[in-house]
């Protein structure tokens, strides 16, 4: 998207061609593509520096593919939120112009970035936790559980804070 919120097509240097190896998707076998989730500021200096730094991966990706043509997709996921994918493709936002994909929420990223975890989740089920608050709490617990892998352990404890006076 440009500054006015209009969709901008990829530049002429980024040529996409259908490729049988990639299910006839239009790809660029010379370059990777970077995707930044919509909820991230793509001009953030940490993201910009990481994108420039990771450009060197283009050569690695192409060399890997040339050495082993059975490879399909190659990825680099940054802790800052950007995602580099080879071969390059055109990312398509949803009907609202949003790119929801965030590599940091994918199991492959989480397992690579973290050690096995033991997690205890305390959920307030007191009288004040009704309606939207309870919905938000459930969604939060679900989001936490989505980040756990096969090597992780967890327990959920429901606690009513009505019996405690917090000062």
Q: What is the pLDDT along the chain (167 residues), one digit of tens a residue?
A: 566 766 665 555 788 899 999 999 999 998 999 888 877 777 888 888 888 899 999 999 999 999 998 999 999 988 888 899 999 998 887 788 777 788 888 888 887 777 888 999 999 888 888 889 889 999 999 989 988 888 889 999 998 877 665 55
Q: Are 85 and 75 in contact (CB under 8 A)?
A: yes
Number of domains observed in the structure of the chain: 2
Q: Which domain holds residue 159?
A: 118-163
Tell whether 21 and 59 lie within a shared domain. yes
Whether residue 142 lies inside any domain: the answer is yes
For residues 57 and 126, membership in a common domain is answered with no
| Residue finishing a domain among 96, 113, 130 | 113
Q: 122-130 long-range CB contacts below 8 Å, 24 or more apart?
A: 122/157, 122/159, 123/156, 123/157, 123/158, 123/159, 124/159, 124/160, 124/161, 125/158, 125/159, 125/160, 126/159, 126/160, 126/161, 126/162, 127/160, 127/162
- Residues 123, 142, single domain; the answer is yes
């Amino acid at each position: 998207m440009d500054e006015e919120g209009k969709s901008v097509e990829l530049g002429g240097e980024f040529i996409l061609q259908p490729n049988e190896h990639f299910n006839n998707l239009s790809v660029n076998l010379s370059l990777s593509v970077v995707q930044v989730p919509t909820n991230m500021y793509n001009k953030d200096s940490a993201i910009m520096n990481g994108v420039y730094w990771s450009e060197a991966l283009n050569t690695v990706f192409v060399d890997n593919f040339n050495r082993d043509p059975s490879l399909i997709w190659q990825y680099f996921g940054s802790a800052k939120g950007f995602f580099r994918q080879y071969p390059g493709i055109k990312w398509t936002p949803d009907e609202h112009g949003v790119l929801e994909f965030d590599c940091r929420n994918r199991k492959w990223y989480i397992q690579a970035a973290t050690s096995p975890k033991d997690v205890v989740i305390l959920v307030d089920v007191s009288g004040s936790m009704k309606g939207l608050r309870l919905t938000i709490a459930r969604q939060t617990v679900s989001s936490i559980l989505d980040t756990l892998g096969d090597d992780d352990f967890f327990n959920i404890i429901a606690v009513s804070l009505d019996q405690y006076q917090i000062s």
